Amino acid sequence: MLYGRLVLARVRSQLQYRLSFALDTVAMFLVSFLDFLAVLLIFHATPRLGAFSVEEVAFLYATSGLSFAIAELVVGHLDGFPQLIRDGSFDVLLVRPRGTLFQVVSIDFQLRRLGLAVQAFVVLGWAISRLDIPWDAGRVAALPLMVACGAAIFCGVWVLTISVVFWAVEGREAANAFTYGGRQLTQYPIDVYGRWLRRLLAYVIPMAFVSYFPALYVLDKPDPLGLPHWLRYAAPVAAVGICVASALMWRFAVRHYRSAGG
């Protein structure tokens, strides 16, 4: 598959500077624990956040972190996409015999970002070892599935919101509110947020399906918000929905694209 070959080529080129790569990855892994330390600091001041304990929030933090790390690895470089519009190099992609989204996504693959995934994995291990999860076949299967669905949701949101730059090339930073904002939102239980913010970012932009609803299922926890029970199984539907929406949005945006260059 072409994507696999392109990714391997990027990875090989990054491994050319082996020492620099190793130092970066290890340092990133260590330093990223400072990010989790922020969560612990909040629990230093309070025993519970909403209806959640520190282990439960760590579970949310870790699953959302894994999803986000995967999404960032695959599409994170879309943040640099406005440059392709600005300098006109996007036009080159239009004449090539492959989809534009495919070409833009396969431009880069920063293996170094795996450092963040490993950190999330360690936090997940810590959370699971301290939580009393009623493991059964469904829950064992749900864990990888929720991470995959979460990654798909983040990817979809990334593509959807970055499409804004086809109309307003300087508007890229607004996408951060949904991508990095989504990461921020999903590492805490959504019952702490105000109702309007929850509606916008958790249900319309389906961030609540990244960690909150699936985690309620895995942790076998009643929903403090009292929402319908079936929502905790709905993450795959949300993931497919947002990915279809983002693909349509991208097509629509590209069709309306007018090159700035001549």
Residues 43-72 interacting with another protein (rule: CB under 8 A): 44-50
Least Å from the CB of residue 200 to another protein? 9
**Rounded distance between C-alpha atoms, residue 101 and residue 250, angstroms:** 8
Quick check: helix, strand or coil at residue 49? strand
> Is residue 13 at the binding interface for another protein, with CB under 8 A as the rule?
no
Q: Which stretch binds another protein (CB under 8 A): 37-45, 87-95, 98-106, 229-237?
A: 37-45
- Which CB atom, from 43 or from 217, has the smaller least distance to another protein? 43
> Is residue 171 at the binding interface for another protein, with CB under 8 A as the rule?
yes
DSSP-H helix ranges across the chain:
2-14, 18-45, 54-75, 81-86, 90-94, 100-105, 114-130, 137-162, 173-186, 195-197, 212-219, 235-255
**Rounded distance between C-alpha atoms, residue 139 and residue 145, angstroms:** 10
Least Å from the CB of residue 159 to another protein? 17
Least Å from the CB of residue 145 to another protein? 26
- Which CB atom, from 41 or from 95, has the smaller least distance to another protein? 41
- Which CB atom, from 64 or from 142, has the smaller least distance to another protein? 64
Q: How many residues make contact with another protein (CB under 8 A)?
A: 39
Four-residue CA torsion sign, 41, 180, 77, 144: positive
Q: Which stretch binds another protein (CB under 8 A): 1-9, 126-134, 164-172, 252-260?
A: 164-172
Q: What is the DSSP string of 207-225?
A: GGGTTHHHHHHHHT---TT
Least Å from the CB of residue 199 to another protein? 12
Write out the two tokens for 183.
């990461």
Among 8, 13, 20, 140, binds another protein (CB under 8 A): 20
**Residue pair 63/214 in contact by the 8 Å Cβ criterion:** yes
> Is residue 77 at the binding interface for another protein, with CB under 8 A as the rule?
no
**Residue pair 231/142 in contact by the 8 Å Cβ criterion:** no
* Cα of 80 vs its chain's centroid, Å: 17
Residues 183-242 interacting with another protein (rule: CB under 8 A): 184-185, 188, 192-194, 197, 201
**Rounded distance between C-alpha atoms, residue 183 and residue 178, angstroms:** 8
Among 10, 112, 221, 251, binds another protein (CB under 8 A): 112
The residues that touch another protein, with contacts defined as CB under 8 A, are 17, 20, 23-24, 27-28, 31-32, 34-35, 37-38, 41-42, 44-50, 112, 168, 170-174, 176-177, 181, 184-185, 188, 192-194, 197, 201
